């Protein structure tokens, strides 16, 4: 929490109102509002040294330099900014020349990353309207209106109107510490409203990821979507199928690994967006009653760990998201006579390869995810040396957590999880006792609740004929 913001936070809405004066009535037609330093609570103390260094060096070289986006929005909400984005009239090449520790990245959006140790400051050049005839002129649009490239330079006002939400178009000027509000973003911060700048459907078509960003910010900031920005989402959700899977992977991580996963997941489902990211998982949720609770519990546990600042891995989450489809597929194969172990292998492979067409999961996460799944078959086998091999497996802990989530979601009858909870912490004597208890269970498996049911053809209802 930012120091000195307690008073601001006690009644954030009121405080902003009193700071910024009465609201402009011309809501539909935003005008630039410059809020001088003495009338807003955002101070340089809230910014990292690296961010300030970048701003001052640009300024001293005669360029305009602003902090923009999430860091100003979050500061106004009394939250500690997570990272810093700088907007400037300097071109990427000019920025590159000012900072030795920088490099130009991206094709779709050329931006400069300036690195200070582990911190990276993102510097973007003001962007203009794609059709405008000034500056470096490289913008491309697909037939659906999707922006493929957007490297047309412009001025700050044009730059503001090209941003996604009004609350993300607030600029902090290093020249005089004022905030420039181009789209009534301050009013929307007060009323906790997410509102796209311009015509919502057009803006979603330009970049369908904005629909995911809407959900992410709504969950994270506890904002609501303005009705006009909400209305087209259901219908336009399928546009996400055209977004490159690698970009969606980055976005999915932000959606689920920011400490508000449960709420985000519910919103994604409500808006029909989840099915565009994880179609098979969405279908499995309609068929298996435990599949949705399993994902919610996995997300809740991830959220908890993030708030406790404990490490989290996306592999665990992906394991939960795709376990439903993997189980459906495994059952089918077993029903066709394949033994369980190869059936799980084949099912995993199939589900992953289909999923990769939507969201690219890198190997560094999909391999541990498969380990977590494989271990689900080994956890019930507790005879002889096996139990110690399982215990020593590098992915044991994640697999054990996953087992607990499966039990809690009602996929498995409880029991095995408790056994492993006790076994892990037990001394040698206690471990022997626990192992002898397994001996009493003839299968040695503590078999999961019987879950395989052959699909029968529904009996035809009697007819009059
Ligand atoms: P956070 O960093 O907390 O996730 P942010 O708003 O800073 O939130 P970034 O992805 O860092 O999000 O983007 C920085 C800024 O760039 C945004 O605030 C917004 O103004 C603009 N922006 C980012 N993505 C888009 C997009 N898809 N369409 C339009 N503007 C965007
Ligand atoms: Mg940011």
* 155 lies in the same domain as 271: no
CA of 103 to the centre of ligand 1 (A): 20
Q: What is the CATH number of the domain that holds 169?
A: 3.30.460.10
Q: Is residue 445 part of a domain?
A: no
Instruction: Indicate if ligand 1 lies below 6 Å from the C-beta of 207.
Output: yes
Ligand nearest to the CA of 251: 1
* 52 lies in the same domain as 170: yes
Q: Is residue 211 part of a domain?
A: no
Ligand nearest to the CA of 73: 1
Instruction: Indicate if ligand 1 lies below 6 Å from the C-beta of 85.
Output: yes
Cβ–Cβ under 8 Å, residues 86 and 54: yes
Closest ligand 1 atom to the C-alpha of 83? Answer: 2
Q: What is the CATH number of the domain that holds 323?
A: 1.10.3090.10
Cβ–Cβ under 8 Å, residues 281 and 291: yes
* 189 lies in the same domain as 269: no
Q: Is residue 80 part of a domain?
A: yes
Closest ligand 1 atom to the C-alpha of 220? Answer: 3
Instruction: Indicate if ligand 1 lies below 6 Å from the C-beta of 206.
Output: no
* 279 lies in the same domain as 423: yes
pLDDT of residue 106: 87
pLDDT of residue 18: 37
**Last residue of one domain, picked from the residues 145, 171, 198:** 198
The CA distance from 402 to 326, in Å, is 14
Q: Is residue 155 part of a domain?
A: yes
**Last residue of one domain, picked from the residues 170, 198, 226:** 198
Q: Which residues are catalytic?
A: 83, 85, 164
Q: Is residue 243 part of a domain?
A: no
* 183 lies in the same domain as 275: no
Closest ligand 1 atom to the C-alpha of 213? Answer: 27
pLDDT of residue 449: 45
Q: Is residue 3 part of a domain?
A: no
Name the residue with the closest Cα to ligand 1, atom 2: 70
Instruction: Indicate if ligand 1 lies below 6 Å from the C-beta of 83.
Output: yes
Instruction: Indicate if ligand 1 lies below 6 Å from the C-beta of 154.
Output: no
The CA distance from 243 to 183, in Å, is 27
Structure tokens at 439: 């001996």
The CA distance from 283 to 267, in Å, is 17
**Last residue of one domain, picked from the residues 159, 181, 198:** 198
From 163, 165, 166, 189, the mutation candidate for ligand 1 (largest count of ligand atoms within 8 A of CB) is 163
Cβ–Cβ under 8 Å, residues 237 and 211: yes
* 174 lies in the same domain as 323: no
* 137 lies in the same domain as 270: no
Instruction: Indicate if ligand 1 lies below 6 Å from the C-beta of 185.
Output: no
Q: How many CA atoms lie within 13 A of 258 on its CB side?
A: 19
Closest ligand 1 atom to the C-alpha of 258? Answer: 4
* 79 lies in the same domain as 162: yes
Phi, psi for residue 78 in degrees, rounded to 5: 80, 20
* 65 lies in the same domain as 170: yes
Name the residue with the closest Cα to ligand 1, atom 21: 163
Of the candidates 97, 158, 95, 144, the residue with the CA atom closest to the CA atom of residue 124? 95
Instruction: Indicate if ligand 1 lies below 6 Å from the C-beta of 163.
Output: yes
Residues lower than pLDDT 70 in the chain = 1-30, 130-140, 147-150, 439-465
Closest ligand 1 atom to the C-alpha of 74? Answer: 3
pLDDT of residue 6: 37
From 85, 169, 199, 219, the mutation candidate for ligand 1 (largest count of ligand atoms within 8 A of CB) is 85
Residues 50-61 have pLDDT tens digits of 999 999 999 999
pLDDT of residue 17: 43
The CA distance from 296 to 285, in Å, is 11
pLDDT of residue 99: 96
Task: Provide the domain count of the chain.
Answer: 2
Residues 6+ apart with CB under 8 A from 357: 245
The CA distance from 189 to 13, in Å, is 8
Q: pTM (2 decimals)?
A: 0.86
Name the residue with the closest Cα to ligand 1, atom 18: 69
* 101 lies in the same domain as 182: yes
Q: Is residue 400 part of a domain?
A: yes
Q: Is residue 112 part of a domain?
A: yes
Ligand nearest to the CA of 84: 2
Long-range contacts for 119-122 (Cβ within 8 Å, ≥24 apart)? Answer: 119/48, 119/50, 119/83, 120/83, 121/50, 121/51, 121/54, 121/83, 121/84, 121/85, 121/86, 122/83, 122/84, 122/85, 122/86
Of the candidates 270, 264, 300, the residue with the CA atom closest to the CA atom of residue 282? 270
Domain that holds residue 287: 262-438
């Amino acid at each position: 929490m930012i120091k000195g913001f307690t008073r601001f936070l006690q009644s954030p809405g009121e405080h902003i109102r009193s700071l910024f004066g009465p609201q402009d009535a011309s809501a539909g037609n935003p005008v630039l509002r410059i809020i001088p330093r003495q009338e807003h609570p955002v101070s340089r103390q809230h910014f990292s040294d690296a961010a300030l260094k970048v701003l001052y060096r640009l300024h001293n070289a005669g360029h305009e330099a602003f902090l923009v986006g999430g860091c100003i929005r979050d500061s106004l909400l009394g939250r500690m900014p997570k990272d810093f984005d700088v907007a400037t009239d300097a071109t990427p090449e000019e920025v590159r020349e000012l900072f030795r520790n920088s490099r130009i990245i991206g094709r779709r959006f050329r931006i400069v990353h300036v690195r200070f140790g582990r911190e990276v400051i993102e510097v973007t050049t003001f962007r203009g309207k794609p059709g405008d005839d000034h500056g470096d002129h490289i913008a491309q649009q697909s037939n659906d209106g999707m922006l493929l490239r957007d490297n047309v330079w412009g001025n700050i006002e044009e730059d503001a109107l090209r941003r996604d939400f009004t609350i993300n178009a607030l600029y902090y000027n290093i020249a005089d510490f004022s905030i420039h509000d181009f789209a009534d973003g301050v009013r929307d911060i007060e009323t906790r409203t997410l509102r796209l700048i311009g015509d919502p459907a057009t803006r979603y078509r330009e970049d369908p990821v904005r629909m995911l960003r809407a959900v992410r910010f709504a969950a994270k900031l506890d904002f609501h979507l303005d009705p006009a920005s909400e209305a087209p989402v259901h219908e336009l959700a399928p546009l996400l199928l055209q977004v490159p899977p690698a970009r969606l992977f980055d976005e999915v991580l932000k959606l689920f690994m920011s400490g508000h996963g449960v709420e985000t997941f519910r919103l994604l489902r409500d808006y029909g967006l989840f099915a565009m990211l994880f179609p098979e998982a969405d279908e499995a949720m309609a068929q298996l009653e435990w599949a949705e609770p399993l994902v919610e519990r996995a997300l809740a546990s991830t959220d908890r760990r993030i708030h406790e600042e404990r490490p989290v891995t996306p592999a665990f989450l992906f394991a939960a998201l795709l376990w439903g489809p993997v189980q459906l597929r495994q059952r089918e194969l077993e029903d066709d006579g394949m033994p369980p172990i190869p059936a799980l292998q084949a099912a995993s492979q199939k589900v992953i390869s289909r999923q990769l067409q939507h969201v690219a999961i890198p190997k560094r996460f999909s391999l541990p995810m498969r380990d977590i799944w494989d271990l689900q078959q080994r956890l019930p086998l507790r005879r002889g040396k096996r139990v110690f091999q399982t215990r020593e497996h590098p992915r044991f802990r994640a697999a054990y957590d996953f087992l607990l989530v499966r039990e809690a979601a009602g996929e498995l009858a409880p029991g095995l999880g408790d056994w492993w909870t006790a076994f892990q912490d037990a001394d040698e004597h206690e471990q022997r006792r626990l192992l002898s208890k397994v001996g009493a269970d003839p299968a040695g498996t503590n078999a999961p609740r019987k879950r395989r049911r052959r699909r029968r053809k529904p009996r035809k209802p009697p007819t009059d004929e």
